[in-house]
Structures are given as structure tokens and as C-alpha cells.
Structure 1
Amino acid sequence: MLEVCNDPDTDILRVGRIVAQDVTITAKILKLANSAFLGARSTFINIEQAVIYLGIDSVRNLAISVAVHETFKDRTGTPNQALEEFWHHSLLTALLAKEIAERSGCASPTESYLAGFLHDIGKYLLSICFGEEYEKILETYAGNPELLQQERQAVGITHAEAGARLIQHWNLNPSLARAIAQHHFPPADLPDDQMLSRITALANLLAGNHFARQSLIKQAAKQLQSTYEELTAIRSNQLERVQGFAESLGIAVPAARQLTEQSEPAAQNRDTLRKKVQSLAQVSGLLDNLIRAKTLNRAFLVLEESLQILFEIDKCILLLPDERNTLLAAHGSFRNRVARRLKGLRIAPAEAAFRIGQALRDCKTIHIEKKGNNTPDEIETLLFDAFAEDALFAVPFTIKETQRGVLLLAATGESAHSFAGIEGSILLLSSHIGSRLCLESIKNRQAEALARERTAAIETIARTLAHEIANPLAIIQNYLSLLGMGDNRSQTMREDLGIIGGELDRIGRISRQLNDLSTPPQPNGRELTDMHALIGETLHLFKRSALLSKNVSLEYSGDPKTPRIWTSPGCLRQILINLLSNSLDAVGTNDRIRVESRFQPASETAENDRIIITVADNGPGIAPAIADHLFRAGHSTKGDGHVGLGLAIVKKLVTDLKGKICHTTGKTGETHFIVDLPAAPEQLA
């Protein structure tokens, strides 16, 4: 149960199935979800509904609470009255810690609840192990600061240390174990990076005889930007609630206490607050689940599951704006059949008079019926057909200040009649999904900014490399010119020197291109080029230099109908060399690299003639995690000093030639890099 709940991508329904395996925990969680303590508007009859209602973290804490109580309740000889006092103090500390954490924002409320509930569990352990000897220590020193010292002298360990060791044994959060070990420390003495420990220690003081600890509580309140009066008001409020909470969990505690030191808020304020809590509690667990969702698809799935389980609404879509905020498109999870039927639909609400546009403009929920005086327009007809329903609810929500979306829900006549009772919860639910979409937008903008900074840094490095390459390159070219002089040079040597000179020229052009990976295309350097000759020459050179160490076979097949094209031969050579080098790094010894070129004449789907060049290898393939970033400057998975420029340069050169490049996986598992170039004859260039 703990392992599943701690997984950030946990399926809510799976949590429900795990809880359902324990009859005791299931019964008590259902009892709590339906109790007056939480003020549910409807009755939950299955555990999946309760899990959605309470939220994963709350279910985890309740399961631990029930399990701990069931495990230890009959294990000691402690009188029932003392046990009831123990559980009352534990539950009160838990509720206090949770509310203090919520108000201060300094620690997780769910972790604070758990730390408060388990902070004294070490007393139970010591009572089981040492029996009457330890019971006498508790009777004598209960509430006394000397308790820890007496425990250590008598049994060699304190209850705080014993509780922390149990938490470690259960593999719970290490900060939880530390908070339990330190719950008798003065809260103000604990460092700022241990806020869970500070809140747990403060809640323990408040749950006890807090008048005797006023100075310690006031110091801690000041650190949390609160006051002693506010904390005692919280204590009074939680004293009223602890009885109902314990009853919901099936934990026996003493009858309600009449404490003269209570400083209660006005009854009217409490009633108002309770009503607000009740109206919001229906979907209180959803926001946490939406934030945990790693992807938008997962967030959509959480929304759809919540609507189905809580409100029995099994058909919904989200109409979300595009990047320009001019059109709405249908979105849903991978399971959403309605969203799949409406794939490709685009709606312009600003120009339309239909009722979804009205919902957006008025920021008001609208009930849309197919029958009656309102004749649906074409868009509404498509929506009704996709939902296979005669009535829909359009619930608008805000994503950002200038962006709104619509939650579209199916509604039968019966649900339409009862919608008013759940509209508040639906509005809150839709606002949660709007907040999640806003967070996703912020995350994407930050990722784009980081990518721009990374590219700028790579360009700086590239310019430095270009400068360093230029000087030795000029010297080599001068020596090469000297070697070519003289009449005693053979024709073969002259040809080889010519090839070397051509490659040195290409290196020079590359170094100049490194000055800026984002430079616009250069019009010069273009000529009528024979693709067969160019590819053959490039592969010949590559075979003689790069393939020798791995014994890799290099195959080429060309289309005899390929015409000569007006392009830059230098750019094409560099594209081929980089793609071949990339394949060579991917394959192993005795593997294969295959190059193919073909001519694709203009057609109904392609306006102009094209040249398609494919470089394929039978290496391990491209992992999905890196596929989206493959052509980004600075991105490399090779290590060993690679700085991730090869494919970025290929992408830039292909773009300069007015072409496109992509990668796919072939039917036999080969990795294909496909270059698509315009086949422009000389007179059209």
C-alpha cells in the first residue's frame, strides 16, 4: 500500500483495489468518508469512490492509522482508560500538526498528520517489551520533562528513539523518523530545514498541558509567523473535532472534555467555515492527484476517473485553446472515445453564436439540449453525435488570464435535474484542471527558455572551436599546395591530393558554419549536381577512412531516374558524412549501413519534384525518451567528449537547402534518417 501510494504515477483505482483487500481498513475508510466529520453530500458505497473523495495521501494516512491501531490495541496490559488517553493525544496531535502545516505552508500537511499520529508510538513498543516496569515510569513521569531521562536509565532507550526506529523499519520518509525522534525538542531550537520536526514538536506541546509550556509555544509561533492566541484557537477547534474523527476510525477515546482554557471562535464563524469545507470537500483529493500526474494525458485520465466515480458522469471532453488562442480543440485521455471521435475538430468560439461560445463569453455553465426550440448548429450536431446524448453541460474554466477552456459533460434528463446539487463541485474540479494546464504551460515555457540558453552556450563553444580550427587548417592547405607542385607527380597522386584539398575546403566551410548554428541559408555555392556521382564519391571516401576499424558493410542503391538538381554539393556531402558517422557510432562490428536515393515526381500530395535520401542502420535504435531532442544542439547520448553538434548541423544544412529531415524505425527494426530535398532544375533555381 505504501509503495503504491508513494508512486507519483499511481492509478487511483489501483489504490482502491489494494485497500479493498483489507476488510477492516475498507470499512473504516468508508465510514469516515460518509461521516459527519467530513460532511459528504452524498453516500459512498464503494472504496473507489472514497479514495477519489479523500485523495491518495489521506487514504495512505488513514490506512496507516487504522493498521497501527488494529496491530497494537490488544498487545499491552495497559488499562483501557490509559489507552483511550493515548489515542486521544495521538489523534489530537495529528490534527493539530496537519492544520499548523496547512496554515504555515512550511511542511506537507499529510506528512505532518502522520508524524503527529505516530509521534508517541514508541510508548506502545516499550510497554509491550518491558511491561509493568515501563508502565510505572509512565504513571510517575507522564507529562514530565524528565520522562526521557527516566526511560533511558530504566530500559536503555527513549520512546522517541524507539518510535523513530519503527518508522525506519517500515521504510517511511526519513524526515518522518527524524520528526518522531525530535518531538520532545523545543520547537524553536530546531533548524529551519527541519520544519516537519518543528511542527510535530509544537503540536505535541499544544495537545498536552499547553499552559505549562506557554513560553516554548510562543517562541515557535513567532517563527511560524503566528501567535499564541491563534494556536490555542486551533487547539480548541480540533478538540471539538477529535471525538468525531476517532469515532469514524473506530478508535475509542475519552468522552468530550470540558476545558476552561478553551478560546473558541464565534459559533457563527465556525458554522460558516464548516459549510465552506463541506462544499469543497467533494473534490478535495483531486488537486493533489492532478499535480502528481507526470503528463497531461495522465491528468486528463484523473479528471475522467473522478467524474465517473464521484458523479457517475462517464462521457466528457475538454475543449482547449490552441497556441494562438483562436480555436478550440477536443482533448481527453487515451481511453476517451468521445475525444477520439472529435479528433481534428476545430471550433472558433469568438465568431460562433452557438451556446458553447456563449458559455465562454459569459463565464457561466450552460445546459445544451438537442430537442426543443434551440436548433443545434453544425458544431453542436457533431458534438451530440460524438457523445450519443441529447443533452450536454458546458462548464467554462480559466487557464490563464486571457485563456479559457470548456469542460463538456454528457447529461441525461435525470442528471440534468440533479446537476444543481453538484455544480459547485464540478466548478471546483474544472478550476483544478485549469490550474494544472496553467502549470504545464509555465513548465513548457521554462523548458524552451532553457533550450535557448543551452543553444546559445553551444554556439559560443562552436565559435571558439571554429577559431581554433582555422589556423592549423590554413597551414595544412599551404603544405598541400606545395605537395601538388612539380611535374613528377603521378595522375593518381594528383587525384588523391585533389580529394584531400576538397575535404579541407569542406572543413573550412564547416568551421565557418560553426560560428553560428542559426545563420540563414547562403545563396552562393549552388550548382547543377549529379546526385549519383556525389553520393558515390562521398561513400567511396567514407569506406576508405571510417569503416576499416569496424568492418561494417556499406550498401548503396540509387534511382536511375534521378535528375541532376541545382543544390550545394558541399552541404550534401556534409549531410551524408554526418549521418553516416552517426550510424557508424550506433552499429557494432560486422553490422550494416544502407544508403538509398530516389526521385519522387510531383503529385496531388506533393506539389514539387523531390529527392529522397535515406541512411539506415541496424544498430540498437533511438530511445523514445530522446527522440524529440535528437536534432537539438548540445544534445548527445554518446558521451566520450561528444558535444551534440553532428545532427544539429545536419538539421541546419537540410533547412538551408529548403528541405526536411526526420527519423523513423523500419519494419525490420532499422533506424532510418530520411532527407527530403527539392529537386529544382537550373532554370528554376
Structure 2
Amino acid sequence: MVSKETAFSQIKESGNLTTLPEILLKLLSICENENPTVTEMADIISHDPVLCARVLQLANSAYYGFRDPYCTIDQVIGHLGINAIKNLAVTMSIHQVRGNNHLDPAMFWYRSLLCACIAEKLARYEGNTSTDEAYLAGLLHNIGQLTLATAFPAQFAAIAANAKNSAADLLILEEQLFGMHHCEAGARLVRDWNVNPLIADAILCHHLPLAKIEEAFPLVKIVYTANALTRNVIDSTSGYDIGTVLLKIGRQELGKMSMEAKTEVDTIALNMSIQLSINSFKENLPHNVQENSNAGQARPVVSGANPSENSNREEPHRKSVQDKIAARVTNFALLSSFLEDLTEADDIQAVLAAFEKSVNILLGTGNTLFFFPDDSGVLLKGETSSRNILHNMCHSLTLPVNQSTSRIVQAFSRSGQSGYISGKEGDNSLADRQILSLLRCETAMYFPLTVKTQTIGVVVLGLPLHQDSLSENDFQLARSLTQQTALALQVEKIKEQREKEIHSERMEAISVTARKFAHEINNPLGIIANYLAAIKIKLGQDQNLQEDLDTVDEEIRRISKMVSQMQMFSQAPFADFEPVDINQVAADLIRIAKTSFFDYPQPNISFEPGSDIPPIITSKDAVKQILINLVKNAAEAVPPHERITVSTVKCSGTDTLDQHHIRIIVSDTGPGLSDVVKNNLFKPFVTTKQNGHSGLGLSVVHKTVNDIGGKISCSSEPGHGTTFTIALPLKASKPLTGRIE
């Protein structure tokens, strides 16, 4: 025998009560919805004693602890929050897979809910007691028995074997072994929660002799009567006399309430797919222990069906539901691995790659395509990660949002529902048939990527050949993956937008400062340079003085050069757009660079012109400015005799630019760049060079490329050189003229 305090401590520490798998599966399904509501969750939890107890226990924890009493599940869920209930559901799922407490869960659930519904009706009829508190007390009236069975499974099984035909036998054996019976265990547990203390009293007293209840408060009488009427419904015992004595309610009214409550519970069981047979139910005690209305006398079991036959019928169904819960638990574990990959993704490309990897491993799907709206919202454009085999061809996939009959467009703009594209269906749009061909599958499934009420894109998964749908479990997993991916993509887009705004604000501030600075510095610099020239003439041929003056003159020119670079930020964008032969511009610049840009010994510089490079509509001066800065930057970075190569190539649409474009590539075999330098590459006033470099050269290049509608990127590894790639559209849109104020 253990002491009462030791037993109760173990009850509180065990905590892993298990409920009917059908109910838990319903709660998990609600939790997996994109926007579950408190009402939906409360509707499930309020119909189950175990979930109700776990929620009350959680609300009473040190982290969540309520200060004011509560009596409704809606109140508790509203306080805890939906995410807390989701976490609780997942935790209970894990314990459900492993749990076993030697109690029939269907019998326990049915008795508890029936007692709650009857208690609620009795309180409404009585008129002075809260119906919510009566319902809660009835639902939890037998929770102590479940806690003992969970905390002491082996000992409880021994009690079940030794208890004969009396509830009194069970209570005595419980008290002998645990120092308390299940009524006291339940009452002590509930008393620790922030509920009306009379609820705990009702639980404590529901097995006392009738004579001791006559002086109790109404809530205790109501639960006592509800428990007796519950036995009456299930076992055909006589509970009506108790209701007449305690609550002065006639037998006919008590019978009506009992049957209405039974109908409600039967309907709930049907809606939750709980298989049970009332005729095979016995009192919720081990084996064949029964109670009569005097709580202590034995009576024979009355059964309209063979219990073992009924158990055999329920076994396959119960195992099927348990298997579904086990699959959900597996999904949660798999999803956690995917979430780890998402947390490490630092840009949109990494998010796409994480999703593609996960669906391929977890679902066995084939190729994956994303579709996102363009800046104007007129087109949906194909996208994948750079690792995807469809990456180079997906950018030519565009779907007009307002005109296309594609199901992908419909998922994005109208229905917002997931669905299938099947090659067997004859009403597919041409675009959808081509997407199936591109994915090399007979059936594809699409999911809208939705954050709250905003759809930010659509993802299409190619299913393996000869598979025309996902299983229910795989569908739930795929939906969870897409929901998390949508959220991660939205976060990355917000980050990118904010970075652009910060960069724009920084450049505007630099522009204003540059204009003021250049104006204030250029005038005195010009005067100093003129006076210096005059002094050099007057001093004649004094060699030492002339060398000193040359040094001063060199520094003045360096300051003037820095000011000129700063002025680039405030000048109007290049506006003289014309047909430009990129190969000719690059060849002329390389010829000049070989004689003007480098000190001796100089690096080897070469030009590799691409074939079939057409003239592009752009600013010739801008292209020159870009090449001059990049080539000089490379020349200053590489040691003597290393190589600098400028090349050109014509490309189709890629992730760099959607349309056909020309690439100018400037690469070197120098020391390369570290990650820290690459992350700050195009920021003004950031430089790793010495000798007074301003750190403005690459910032000027970045601004100029943007001014003429192009994009610039850099790839570099320490010890493996650096490559700058400029993508210029064949026909650029002219920028707005005028200075940036």
C-alpha cells in the first residue's frame, strides 16, 4: 500500500490520460485547418472528460494560471489560445499511440458525457444552479477512476480482478491500495484547478449513501442524481426515486430528461464515428461490478448483446482509428524535420528548395512547380529553386490571371481550393495539359499558397505515374507543408521589400549629401589647384619642392575623384537610350584599359565576345561606366600576372531577367571574397582596399545597372576568384528623368 500523498503525487505526475481515438482524431483534424476557431475546438473538448480535464489542468499551470474562476471550456480555450490546444492535441496523440489503462474508453466516455448532459438538464429545471458548472461536474464526475488506472495500471488491474459484484468492494480495495478511492482522487485533482469548489464536492460525494446527500448543496444533489439516472439509462436500474427525493422532480420528467440526454449523446457518438452498443454497456467498473441506487448493493448485469461479440465488432474500427492517429503522429515528426530546414532558409530560393526536397522525400512526388504573380498582378509566372531540373525552362511559363481557364489560375484568383489536374479529363485547358507534360506525370495536384486570407501563389506537385490521388494522410501532410511554406515565403518577401526600402532610403540620403558635399568641396579644390599650379611655376626647378608639390597635387586630384564618384548618386539616370553594340563597347574599353588602367607589372586582360549578340536599346555611357568600374575594381584586387576576362553572351529568360537579355561577365582569378564582404558588396562607403579608396565604385555600378533596367550579381569564393554578371534586357524601359531629391 502506498500513502495517500504518494499516490496523489504520482497521479499528478503521470498526467498522460488517454481518450477515445475517434475524438482525438476529430480534434487533430480541426487543428490541421488553416484557421481553426475556438468554437470548433470547444465543441470537441466539451464532449470529452479527458480533453476537458487536460485543458483545465493546462490552464491551471504556472505559465497560464487563471486568476479568476472559470466554468466554460470556451473561456479556458480563449485564455490558452488555439496554438496551446494544437500542442496539447499533438502531445495527447503521442500518448494515445502508447497508452493502455485497462479501462474501456468507449464505456468511460459514454457514461461521462451522458451524466454531463443529464446534469445540465437537471440544473436548468432546478433553476438556481449554473448549467455550465453542472455540465462540467457531470463530465468529470468519474475522472478519478481514469487517473488511478493511468497512474497505477498494474495495481488497478489487480483491483479489477479482486473486486466482486459491488462498487463498495471497488472503493474499499482502492482505499486499501492507494490510501484513497477514485472519488477522492478526482475531487483532489479538480480542487487544484480554478473552478467552483462545489464541483470537487460533487465528484467526491457521487458514491455516498443517499441519506448523506439530502443536506448537500444543489450542485452536489444534481450530479448525484445525474449519475443515478445515467446508470438507469445504461443498466435499467431505478434512479428515478433519487431524483424525486433530492430534487423533487417527478419520475415522468426525469425519464424525459434522461431520454433526451441519451439521444444527444448518441448523436454525438454518431457524428464522431464512435462505435458503441448501449446494450452491451455495463457500469464503468472493471469486469461486471454494478451499482444500485443505494450505491453499495450488487445487481446482475442485464445485457441485450454478447459483450465479447460487440468487442470483436469494435476491434477493427478502433484499430483503424488508432492507425490514423499513429500516421498523424508520424506526420508531425516528419513536419518538424521540414520546419528545421525552413528555419535555416535565408532567402526565397532556399525556401523553395526546402519544400521541393521535403515533398520528394516525404510524399514521393515527382517534379514541382511554383507560380507567383508578377509585380503588376497580371500574370502568374513559373518558378522553382535553382536545383530543380525544370529551373531553366519554368520562367517561360506564364498564365494570364484574368483570361486563363487554367485550374492553377482559378486556385489563385477565385476558388482558393486545392485540386487535381488529370490527363484523363477532357476539359483541361491547353496550359494545364502542357504543365502535366512538363512535369512528366499523368496527374498533378495543386495547392494555393495562402497566408491568412491572401493567396500569394500556387504550388503544383507531379504525382508518380499510375497514381491519380494522394492518400488522406499524405494530403494532410502536403497541406501542412504548403501552409508552412507560404508563411516562410511571405516572411522572406517582407524582408526583401524592407531591405529594398532601406537601401532606397540610404541611397536617397547619400544623394542629398553628395550634392551638398560636392558643391562645397569642388569650389575650394579648384582654387587650391590653381594656386598650386601658380606656385609650381614661380618656384622654378627646385627638385625637392617640386616633388612635394606633386604629392599635394596628387592628393587634390584624389579628393576630386572621390567627389566625382559621390556625384554619381545625385545625377539624373542615364537618359540617352539608343541601339548599342555591346561587343564593340567592351572591345574599345579593353583596348583603352590595357594602356591606361593598370600599373606594371599588369594582370592579363582579355575579351571573349559572344556570337550573335544583337544591338540592345540602352545607354552607351552607362555601359561604359559599368565596365570601367568593374574592370578597374578587378585590376586593383588581383595580383600581377593574374587573369581578368570580360565576356558577353545572349540568354533567354531566367531567374535573373524574365525576358531575353545580354549578359556581360567580368571575372578574375584573384583572391576572391569572403561572405562578410559579399554581404556588403554594393553598400556605399564599404571597402576592403587601402590607399584612400572611398568604397563607392561598386555602389555606383549597382545604381547604374538599376537605372538602365538591368540586374547585377556576384559569385566568389576565397581563393577562387570573383565573377560579376550584368544582365541587360534587349530593350530597356527608359527611366524617369530628373534628379533624386
Normalising by the smaller structure, the TM-score range is 0.3 to 0.5
Q: Which has the greater radius of gyration?
A: 2
TM-score by length of 2: 0.44
TM-score by length of 1: 0.47
